Structure 1
Amino acid sequence: MKSKNLIILIFLILIFNFGHAQELTSPNGALSMQFSLEEDGKPIYQLSYKNEEVIRPSHLGLELKDDKKSLLNDFEIVETKTSAFDETWQPVWGEESKIRNYYNELAITLKQKETDRLMLVRFRMFNEGLGFRYEFPQQDNLVYFVIKEERTQFAMTGDHMAHWIAGDYDSQEYDYTKSRLSEIREKFDSSRQSNASQTAFSKTGVQTALMLKTDGGLYINLHEAALVNYACMHLDLDDENMIFESHLTPDVNGDKGYMQAPCNSPWRTIMVSDNARDILASRITLNLNEPCAIEDTSWIKPVKYIGVWWEMITGKGSWAYTDELPAVQLGVTDYSKVKPNGKHSANNEKVKRYIDFASEHGFDGVLVEGWNEGWEDWFGKSKDYVFDFVTPYPDFDVQEIHDYAKSKGVKMIMHHETSGSVRNYERHMDQAYQFMKDNGYDAVKSGYVGNIIPRGEHHYSQYIVNHYQYAIEKAADYEVMVNAHEAVRPTGICRTYPNLIGNESARGTEFQAFGGSKPNHVTILPFTRLIGGPMDYTPGIFEMDISKLNPENNSHVNSTLANQLALYVTMYSPLQMAADLPEHYEQFMDAFQFIKNVAIDWDKSVYLEAEPGDYITIARKEKSGNNWFVGNVNGIVPRKSSIKLDFLEKGKKYMATIYADAKDAHFKTNPQAYTIKTKKVTNKSKLSLTSAPGGGYAISIVEIK
């Protein structure tokens, strides 16, 4: 009798809880989210995919500073609203010319009984995943408040495999580690490579976008969208209970955010699928951002460029003009009285050589780094006034270079290194952008190497996130496109401000000259870093042995040449650099042809094969044209890639030019071994190609008229 009563009691409890749960499903019905309040008024949610639990019951809320009552519990539901949304919008540039924004929404307004404070949790469910954020409407009882920590949880259902980089307030420039969640703690120290600025916070802290895979074959991606006026979110793992909790980047005082209602947090995103290709194809991050805020976008154009850069990264050349100065003070130091070091790369003669090469081969622009005074004394000095962004070295004539580039039909790309001094950059920003426009520069590569000034701030704190946003918006006033390096990893802001045409914000090609990156690095980045927006990865390296450029540098580019070609398709960006030296391209002009031909703006993208850390194959159709380009990048294990060309238009014939690894190609021992073959194909054709370790292939497919 007692057991029967117990069963009845449990049944009644389940009915009671179900009756008070709010449910939201995806438009296709595959995903389901339940929201409810626990007995003490704590908000809680859980997520399922095709009836399989993905996120176990997880708490929501924020802990406030210097407040007796945080926004964690004691809530009651005062209003719920449901809605559906379906639109198709056109990005200024992108992986496709049209993006569908299709979701069901549940907005739950909570009132804290003791304080009468209101907090709204808004959920949006897409076919590929869930987005949610906190909103704080205007109210008398919550106006100004300081976040001590956001307490959003993501409770995992098991000890999943993960591709992760260490949680860090100042750097994302790490190789990815693949491990079980339970192994993060033991692998944490070995996962961190040295960097110009880095601050770890926990032995189980990781960064988003975090790519996970369950033993049952589900792919899960955790990230955030629309990071505006808020601190960047990391994830800290409770590795006993397998629960991730949000961890915001603090400011110099240790505070996580200064808020004034009405306001909201960024979106927290959970993508889920049983097919890895769906993660790559998802546009949740973009869709959770606001529409374009720039009325006239005609000046925003994708750019294929070369630059005076790689020789400095490898140590062949120098950013600095002289080796004689122990210190520099702008406006005081007289460079006409010092001896040039003979290694300064940004000189008129060399830059003209790059301009000639760009003009000859159809590139849009040339980037020049190290053109401006101050590089002798720029790094590691905690120096506020480093650069003024307008004063060139004696061997770089801004007007002469501008006139020469213009005569060749080439645009110059500006470089602004801030040395982490955001305050100094903001002082000079208007003058610097106006200087760019006066001299024909429409795009800038900005950098934030080193510790941040104001001192004690971090690259990903609320204050510095706001600086990056200020720089983008200020640039838009001058019709300048921005490519920000060392900035916070992107979260889809490029939808709202498409003049943010690229970011680095991850371990890019430069690290191949600093000791190398893992051969499978580029098979992970599209699942992680690129979830938030395009990366200026700077591909196209043809000479893998760095000692041939600089005998004192024994680094090796861990990639085959065919892999480097494929990156122009798999590492999406509307800003693509051919990063190697012109003389190296001249040695392999037949392979260089693919870089010349490949598009940088797309009408359609088709994701053919994908497994994070192992391989990716993508086909893309150029915008306003009929040509297709295919790229495959491979991890460490050689494999045969078999693809169908059914994405091609029926009834048409095409010529495919296939740039592939040779039989004996290997990223370390024989990286420059490649073959080039042509083949007539249709939409019924199939291709089977072998990708070497660290290799891949690239294909251009041109319609036969």
Structure 2
Amino acid sequence: MLLLTASYQAAAQARAPLTARQDKVSLQFALAPDGRPSYAVFYGPKPVILPSRLGLAFADGKGFDGPLVLLGSEVTEVDDTWQPVWGEVRSIRNHYQQLTVHLRQPAATGRRLDLVFRVFADGVGFRYEVPAQPSLAYFTVQDEHTEFNLPANHKAFWIPGDYDSNEYTYSTTRLSEVNSAGIEAIQLKSAPRRVQTPLMLRSDDGLYVNLHEAALVNYPALMLNVDPKTFGLSSQLVPDASGTGAKAYLQAPEHTPWRTIVVADNAPAVLASKLILNLNEPPKLTDTGWIQPQKFVGVWWEMHVNKASWNYADTTNLKLADTNWNALKSNGHHGANTANVKRYIDFAAAHGLQSVLVEGWNVGWEDWANNWKEEVFDFVTPYPDFAVAELQQYAQGKGVQLMMHHETSSSVTNYERRQPAAYRFMQEHHYAAVKTGYVGRIIPRGEHHDGQWMVNHYVRTARLTADHRLMVDMHESVRPTGLHRTYPNWLANEAARGNEFNAWSSGNPPEHETILPFTRLMGGPMDYTPGIFQIKLDDWNPARNKGRQVHTTLAKQLALYVTMYSPLQMAADLPEAYEQHLDAFRFIEDVAVDWDDTRILAAEPGDYITTVRKAKGKDEWYLGAITDENARAQSVKLDFLTPGRQYEATIYADGKGASWDQNPMAYQIRRQQVDHKTVLKLLLAPGGGAAVSFKPAGK
């Protein structure tokens, strides 16, 4: 009788949904007559998410996927402001209404689940919380039954839901047309209708919707399966290596990451959203003064354009512990040699860049790729031509720091064993930051880059580097979910198709950089490695680079320093490329990497973006405008400038006849006096852009 009463009460409550609201965004929660929970989201009168299922399935068959009964609920409101250690703005408002729904299984054990919804003015975040309880301690999540049922066949900007890579170009189709069957897989053959998050959507009635997650910790990444007939999206978690289909091994009390829905009636508002950051925890570091956003150059691009190599010798089939590395014969084109690194240090010092990245400095590169080896690198033994102590002293004497590189070859167990010694080595030689890499198939064998095991590794690495007062930049990792708020030493990730693909593949199409801010960058900064000046790559190695080029103009490469946010920005080209265009390189010298204010002046995913940012602690503004393959004219109001003050605008623009494919290196630089009433006219070439600095006149 008690169970019947509870079911009757749940059915009655389902007829009167629980609600939460913030400005135009509203959420409804209901229990269906069969006890299955669901939610819906609206933007004003427009449906964003139609009633959609919620639930967790456990390996023991006793998960929270229905039936459930309602124990109670409460609504609270939070409105506060916090200051990021670094970021796009000086302060962030965190204003939401929270609906917490307490649910119970109607069985005798009465296991409990809380659903927590936070409704912001720009969207919704929700997660599952399993409280501490006598009847549930350890549990295995087999599946998550989160759905996002969309009201129409939206335009979608998507990449395949590959468990091991995000390094794809974006497809732009209707949801009904999503199909990756014809796309060459990078790591794992993806299910044809599975897509990665963040997923960007645009409705025909004027809504922009972004689906992602926040605070991904101790859980696999979320991907989405697309139903082409109903336009419904269902969650797909990355499985573990057991072969049982298990996704996450958890112990109560525990919670999932937040599922996020950013919604607005204009594209710039999506880029301005701080919803994902607000759903992450405050910094776990009490002392953050040593964390320094910065620009750097590095021994890196010359390997991608086949001018140098990572490996010291051309011998293969070597073993880390048994090889006499000093006895190897040099191949004569090893990039990370002492003299070459000094050249980069000199360039950085001359142009005010803080660091020099060096890849290929450590033994093991002769036999690292595609062999699924356990022990490839030890991260402390340099090649014979890389003088660690000498370069340390040389860099310090020039006021420059060296940046460490740890390519793990995805032998993550090996890296974890060696991390303490590697980070001590960094401290002893005054390295302040490390770039990690995870190229290849993961060891432990069978685990995925985006599964629970690796997600925990990335977080452990952020914690361990913080313990050693080191900054970290992770490549080939899971895409970010705002954890740089919690671990501000975690400066950037790659986790997408970066600029490097222009060097050894079909490249990135001109629209690529106009989509990434709406997708990959929603979760956090990207180390995209902009600043390529030698657009045509034949000049570096005609035999191996024939026909290859970067698919932008030179001016667009400058604009990316503003439109593609990161506190860690690389001047990615070779010093000799910059020395031919030092007038254009001045923008890279000047542009900030930490900001007091950011404004998205114009944007449309896949088409164009114009962004302006105010440098931290200065009355200087920097603007970037980029376009896809189409030429565009931009009229930019400068009403963000301080009224009554004159500024000198230095405009780095596409030159006459410029285009990404035929004439990519044509640019022009002009200066003019402006104030807050000025309307600036910018002409963007096909695949082009413009970069502008605004400094108070007379300074």
Q: Judge same fold: TM > 0.5, yes or no.
A: yes
Contact 1:174 1:193 in 2 (8 A): no
> What's the CA shift for 1:83?
0.6
Q: In 1, distance between residues paired with 2:142 and 2:185?
A: 29
Compute the TM-score of the two structures, normalised by the length of structure 1. Answer: 0.96
> What's the CA shift for 1:326?
2.0
> What's the CA shift for 1:330?
1.6
Instruction: After TM superposition, list the pairs within 5 Å mapping 1:299-338 onto structure 2.
Output: 299-323=290-314, 325-338=315-328
Q: Structure 1, residues 188-223: CA drift from partner, whole Å, max 9, x if none?
A: 133x3453xx12342110000000001112100000
Secondary structure at 1:667 match in 2: coil
Secondary structure at 2:418 match in 1: helix
> What's the CA shift for 1:337?
2.1
Counterpart among 19, 22, 43 of residue 18 in structure 2: 22
Q: In 1, distance between residues paired with 2:276 and 2:659?
A: 36
Distance change (3 Å), C-alpha of 1:215 and 1:97: same
Contact 2:14 2:31 in 1 (8 A): no
| 1:582 aligned partner | 575
Moved more, 17-26 or 137-146: 17-26
| 1:245 aligned partner | 234
Counterpart among 165, 168, 172 of residue 178 in structure 1: 172
| 2:545 aligned partner | 553
Counterpart among 596, 621, 625 of residue 603 in structure 1: 596
| 2:659 aligned partner | 666
> What's the CA shift for 1:328?
1.6
Secondary structure at 1:20 match in 2: coil
Contact 2:326 2:383 in 1 (8 A): no
Q: Structure 1, residues 8-58: CA drift from partner, whole Å, max 9, x if none?
A: xxxxxxx967753101111x2x01111000001000100110111110110
In structure 1, list runs of 5 or more residues that go unmatched: 1-14
In structure 2, list runs of 5 or more residues that go unmatched: 1-10
| 2:121 aligned partner | 127
Contact 2:207 2:263 in 1 (8 A): yes
Contact 1:174 1:507 in 2 (8 A): yes
Q: In 1, distance between residues paired with 2:50 and 2:656?
A: 47
Distance change (3 Å), C-alpha of 1:109 and 1:200: farther
Counterpart among 625, 636, 643 of residue 643 in structure 1: 636
The one-letter code sitting in structure 2 at the alignment partner of 1:265 is T
Q: In 1, distance between residues paired with 2:138 and 2:40?
A: 30
Is 1:395 the counterpart of 2:389 in the alignment? no
| 2:49 aligned partner | 55
Secondary structure at 1:46 match in 2: strand
| 1:39 aligned partner | 33
| 2:276 aligned partner | 285
| 1:4 aligned partner | none
Is 1:229 the counterpart of 2:180 in the alignment? no
Secondary structure at 2:223 match in 1: strand
Compute the TM-score of the two structures, normalised by the length of structure 2. Answer: 0.97
The one-letter code sitting in structure 1 at the alignment partner of 2:94 is N
The one-letter code sitting in structure 1 at the alignment partner of 2:588 is I
Instruction: After TM superposition, list the pairs within 5 Å mapping 1:464-475 onto structure 2.
Output: 464-475=454-465
> What's the CA shift for 1:548?
1.1
| 2:6 aligned partner | none
Secondary structure at 1:689 match in 2: strand
Instruction: After TM superposition, list the pairs within 5 Å mapping 1:25-424 onto structure 2.
Output: 25-26=21-22, 28=23, 30-67=24-61, 69-114=62-107, 115-185=109-179, 188-190=180-182, 192-195=183-186, 198-253=187-242, 254-323=245-314, 325-424=315-414
Q: Structure 1, residues 157-201: CA drift from partner, whole Å, max 9, x if none?
A: 11110100000100000000000011112xx133x3453xx1234
Counterpart among 579, 596, 607 of residue 614 in structure 1: 607
The one-letter code sitting in structure 2 at the alignment partner of 1:233 is L
Q: Structure 1, residues 464-514: CA drift from partner, whole Å, max 9, x if none?
A: 100111111000110000000001100000000000001000000110102
Q: In 1, distance between residues paired with 2:373 and 2:666?
A: 46
Q: In 1, distance between residues paired with 2:268 and 2:438?
A: 33
Q: In 1, distance between residues paired with 2:538 and 2:630?
A: 26
Q: Structure 1, residues 285-329: CA drift from partner, whole Å, max 9, x if none?
A: 110000010000011010100000000011111000011x22121
Counterpart among 687, 691, 695 of residue 698 in structure 1: 691
| 2:497 aligned partner | 507
Is 1:592 the counterpart of 2:588 in the alignment? no
Q: Structure 1, residues 110-168: CA drift from partner, whole Å, max 9, x if none?
A: 01111411010000011100000000000122211111111100001111101000001
Secondary structure at 2:282 match in 1: coil
| 1:429 aligned partner | 419
Counterpart among 638, 642, 655 of residue 648 in structure 2: 655
Q: In 1, distance between residues paired with 2:552 and 2:184?
A: 20
Q: In 1, distance between residues paired with 2:637 and 2:520?
A: 28
Contact 1:642 1:689 in 2 (8 A): yes
Instruction: After TM superposition, list the pairs within 5 Å mapping 1:3-18 onto structure 2.
Output: none
Aligned alpha-carbon RMSD (Å) = 1.2
Q: In 2, distance between residues paired with 1:242 and 1:259?
A: 32
Contact 2:326 2:384 in 1 (8 A): yes
Counterpart among 655, 675, 685 of residue 682 in structure 1: 675
Contact 2:160 2:190 in 1 (8 A): no
Contact 1:95 1:605 in 2 (8 A): yes
The one-letter code sitting in structure 2 at the alignment partner of 1:221 is N
Q: In 1, distance between residues paired with 2:38 and 2:14?
A: 13
The one-letter code sitting in structure 1 at the alignment partner of 2:458 is Y
